[in-house]
Each structure stands twice: as C-alpha cells, then as structure tokens.
Structure 1
Amino acid sequence: MKNTRKWPLATTAVLALTLALTACSSDSGTSTAAATSVASVHGHVHGLGIDPADNRLYVATHEGNYTPGKDGAAQRVGNSKDDFMGFTVAKAKTFLASGHPAPGTGGPGNRGLIESTDSGKTWKTRSLAGEVDFHALDYTHGTIYGYDSTNALLRVSKDGAAWDDRARLQALDIAVSPDAPDTVLATTAEGIAMSTDGGRTFAAGKQPAMAFLSWPKPGALYGLDDSSGLNRSTDGGATWQKAGTVPGGQAQALTAVDAEHILAATQNGVYESRDGGKTFTKRFTVDVGDGH
C-alpha cells in the first residue's frame, strides 16, 4: 500500500486537497533540475531541514532520518527507523519531530513531541507521548507551534512540555510569520487560513490553495501547491507570484532555509534550489520500497 500522510477522521474535509496531491504526477513547469549522481532515501518524505551547525541536509522519512554521507550518498542518521512526522530543525544540532515507532520496536503509537540535541542521532520524548501526532511543527520566536492531527488542533508551547490549546481546524501545514508571532497561516482545503491572534482563531481559508508553507524571512513566504508549483508572497500571503516548479510530481515537503535557498520533496526526489526556485538540483531519489 502506498504510504500517505495519516489523516484522522476529524480532518476528512481536507481530503480534497490530499486527492489533488495524489493525482499530480506531472513534471511540467518552468524550473529545471540539474543532472547529478544521487542515491535513494527510503520511505515517503515528511520533513526537510538544514542543520546550521554544519549546513548539512537532513531528510525525515517514513523509515528514518537521512543525511548525505562523505560520498554524497544518503545514509541513515543513528539507528532509528521510526516514522518521523512534523520534522523541523529548531537550532544548531536541535531537531523537533513527532510520528510513530518503527514496527516491532514498541512504545505508544503516537510519539508526541520528540527532540534530538545531537543532530538526529538520538531522540527523547518531551511530551504528549501516546496522545498526539504532530503533522506540522514550526519553531520560531522561541516558541513551538504544532498542528496536532490527532485532535485537529493547533497547540503552542514555550518549553515543549506544557501546551496551550488554540484553535480547532482541519489543516495540512502551518507557518508562522518571522516578524509577527501572532500571525499564523494554515493550509486548508478551502485555501490559506490566517490567524492574527497567535492561532486562537482563524479566518476562513482563501485561495490560492497550498499544500505546504514555509516562511523564513519577512517578504519571503513560500507555498508549494498541489501541482508542485512553488509560489512566493512578499506581502504575507495577500498576493502570490509563481517562482518555479519542483520536478517529480506529488508534493511531499517544503522548507525555505532563507529567501533564496529552498528545499522540497516530491514523489520521486528531494530537490534543492539556491535561486529562489528558478532551478533545482536533485539531492536524493525517493524510494518508497514495498509501499511505505
């Protein structure tokens, strides 16, 4: 069975967006992918990041976390083959994630919030084990913003232990303004929903619809749509311009490291752009193996 994001019953209204993502398999667009020698990561990709400690790429998948080895080929980080969801690089060597344990390893089905302070080699539980599967995590302004897919709820925490429950909504991804901590965006089936009170309430979603969002700098909000089109907004989402197209079909993950450095995963690979999405280089092939 093909691996897809695990949708709780409470979020069935976003299935239209999920179906649109699944249906997309075209590589059409203006962007190009440079030909490189790449190796595979295994499992559907759930998150991407660059560790500022050494500028190394990390790819969180259904079957573990990967990074380039000395020869550039993908190698698993540590021994974990867990399903990493909601993955984000919080700061140097410090990663946050959620997800599910690998088959046969035991533990609760939902990992809650987990943290690594050694660049993904080892992980420890911070909170909500057995209760929550965060499908999206954003760390900014010294605060963790998490979309709890189990309960269709936005949660916010300063320390990763105590959580403030905010709005209930049906979403796939979230992004927080880098210069306004109360401005939170969420991707919904209706379009992008905005909150201006820290996620306590959201306005109705407005077009265009995006699958994933990333907001690294003021004036550089990026969205990946259901056709793997990369879009940029310089005014906080009020208007959008097409920046390029990520090759490889179905969108799986998006992280904008800065205004020009973009990481994106699609159905067939992990891609990197250094020019704001005009061109992409394929870093890894995605191998879903036996259906994961």
Structure 2
Amino acid sequence: MPARPTARAQFTVAVTALACVVLAACGSDGSSGAGEESAAPISASVLSHVHGLGVDPADGRVYVATHDGLYTAAKGRKPKIVGDRRDDFMGFTVTGEKTFIAGGHGAEGSGRPGNLGLIQTRNAGHVWTSRSLSGEADFHSLDFAKGTFYGYEGGRIRVSADLEEWDDRATLEALDLAVSPSGDKLLATTADGVATSTDGGRTFRRSAGPVQAFVSWPAQKSLFGIDTSGKLSTSPDGGATWRQLTTVPGGQPRALTAIDADLILAATTTGVYESRDGGRTFTELAPLAS
C-alpha cells in the first residue's frame, strides 16, 4: 500500500498547483507594454482568477480583486467592475472607509508597469495612486494593524508605517499573511503549518498545528483558516489550537477574508461565498468562470 502523503507534501502540491494557475494567468515580464494591444473586453457578469476579497465599512459592499480588475459582488446581482482598470490585482486589502491597498500587474496596453508596487485608492477603487516600489515589487499578500502594514513580496516579509518606506525582514516560503488585531503577532501560512512571529516579521516560529492555505484574523479570539481542500477552521488562541467548522463549496480556495467573528468571505474554484454565521454555512455571492 503506498504511503499516505504528509501535510507538507499536500500543501506543497496544492500550492504548486495554485502557483501554476496564477503564473499562467498573471505572469509578467516586468512591463505591461504601452504599445501592445489591449486585452479583450471583460464581461462585467463573469468573475475569474480571484486573488482577494474585502468589505468596505462605509457601505458594506463586497469587493473582489481579480486578474482582470476589481469587482463588486452581491447575492442575486451580476458582478460589476469598478472603474476602468483591468489590472491584475494580486495582494489586496481594505484598510478603511473607501480606502484599499493592493499590488499586482498593470494590464497589457495600459502603460502601467508589470509590477505595480504598492497602490492605494481612497474612493473605493475608482482611482488608484502609486505609493511606492512601482516597477519593482509584486505584493501577493497584504495586511495591516495598529498603523503598520505588512506585505509578502518576493519571498520576504516587508513592513511599512507609511506605504512609502519598507523594511525588509524575514525570508520564507509562504502563501498568505495575517496580523493580529492587537498587532503583536504575525502569521504566515507555510508547508509546515502556520508560522508565528512576535517581533514584527523578523523571525518566525514554526507551528505544529494543521496546515492552512489562507488565514484571516478579524478579532483577537476569532482567527480563521482554510486549508488546501477548502476546510474552514477557527482558532480562539492565535493558532495554537484549531476547530474545524465546515467545508466551503468548490474545494481548493483562492482567498479568505473574515470581516468579524460572523461575516466571512471565501473564494474557491467555483465561486465567491459568504457566511454570516461565523463560518458554519455559506451562500454563493457570484460564480467563477472555469
């Protein structure tokens, strides 16, 4: 009988598969090419290649960051693209009312760089401003707490207090980051489990807990994680122990964002889903194109 794959092997295979999809769809040679032909028009009713999720506290609207632009999504309505940018939004997070930050790649023909660095909007995605590292950095995960911003880029943790100057800290192989609401712990999902830093991302302690693909930490005693098969779990103690809640429809996850202890958003291979009961049940907000 063949040996059963370890959690590390399962994570590595799943992350490799995710990376292949991302690189195939979102690869960049460092320049978007102002003289190249623009991509074909994107249907406002179809989502694909989701990278991030968020809710604007100003109006409760759900935002979906994708390979082809930023969209809004609501149950019973077709997704709607925000503004006229068809950029590939990779790392994405909501930091305040109508205020979001992101990283990624400029759309072909846009004249924007292949690596956008750190960009910010203060009007809910209609206009974006380059804040730093334009043409240099490609943030794949972003989070913030207590006035400090954390990013995962180029295999390293990068930290900033103003989105302009960045301090490079630990290097590690990770898929996602989450900082505690108090700002005293930073988590990174790795093939060995959820690694923990208590010194702002300078060093990490490996966890013996279950492997998670994505994590989100909206309240001190409400940490959520989703594994590579879509199983959602919660931890009341910062990742020391986990309790499985349910399996999100669609299997392999693409993104996870918990707004509070009750409202959770997840994207999988089949759609964007919402839970309003702390992750016990999910309903579909929008399907994803295959």
Report the TM range for the smaller structure's normalisation. Answer: 0.7 to 0.9
Match for residue 61 of structure 1 among 62, 66, 69: 66
Query: Relative contact order (alpha carbons < 8 A, sep ≥ 6): 1 or 2 greater?
Result: 1
Quick one: distance in 2 between partners of 1:236 and 1:113?
28
SS of residue matched to 1:42? coil
Q: Where does 1:209-248 land on structure 2 (aligned, <5 Å)?
A: 209-248=211-250
Partner of residue 141, structure 2: 136
TM-score (structure 1 length as normaliser): 0.84
- Equivalent positions of 1:265-284 (< 5 A) are 265-284=267-286
Match of 2:287 in 1: 285
Map Cα deviations across residues 158-189 of structure 1 (whole Å, 9 max, x no partner).
1100111111111000011112x231110011
Provide Cα deviations, 1:124-173, integer angstroms capped at 9, x if missing partner: 1100111111100002111111011xx21101111100111111111000
Q: What is the Cα deviation at residue 69 of structure 1? A: 7.4
Q: Which has the higher strand share?
A: 1
* Other-structure match for 2:162: 159
Aligned amino acid, residue 164 of structure 1? D
| Amino acid in the other structure paired with 1:158 | A
2-structure distance, mates of 1:100, 1:21: 15
Aligned to 2:189: 187
1:259 to 241, 258, 261: 261
Question: What is the alpha-carbon distance in structure 1 between the residues aligned to residue 46 and residue 129 of structure 2?
Answer: 23
Q: Which runs of 5+ in 2 are unaligned?
A: 1-10, 22-43
Q: Tell me how far 1:68 sits from its aligned partner.
A: 3.6
Distance in 2 between residues matched to 1:87 and 1:14, nearest whole Å: 23
- For residue 175 of structure 1, what is the aligned residue in structure 2? 178
Asked if 1 retains the 8 angstrom alpha-carbon contact of 2:256 and 2:265, the reply is yes
RMSD, aligned CA: 2.1
Helix, strand or coil for the counterpart of 1:146? Answer: strand
Q: CA deviation at 1:15?
A: 5.3
TM-score relative to the length of structure 2: 0.84
Distance 1:57 1:276 in 2: 17
Contact 1:21–1:251 (8 Å) recurs in 2:
no
C-alpha separation between the residues in 2 aligned to 1:254 and 1:161? 26
> Does the 8 A contact of 2:105 with 2:116 survive in 1?
yes
In structure 1, stretches of 5+ residues that fail to align are 1-12, 24-38
Q: Match for residue 250 of structure 1?
A: 252
Aligned AA for 2:264?
A: I
Instruction: Report % sequence identity.
Output: 57
Which whole-Å CA distance do the structure 1 matches of 2:184 and 2:61 have between them? Answer: 30
Question: Does 2:98 align with 1:93?
Answer: yes
Residue pair 1:20, 1:226 contacting (<8 A) in 2 also? no
Which of 101, 104, 107 is 1:102 aligned to? 107
- Structure 1 residues 228-269: Cα deviation after superposition (integer angstroms, max 9, x where no partner): 010000011000000111101210000000001100000010
**For 2:146 and 2:196, how far apart are their aligned partners in 1?**
18
Matched with 2:51 is 46
Alpha-carbon offset, residue 205 of structure 1 = 4.4
Letter in 2 for 1:234: P
Paired residue secondary structure (2:288): strand
- Equivalent position to 2:16, from 15, 18, 32: 18
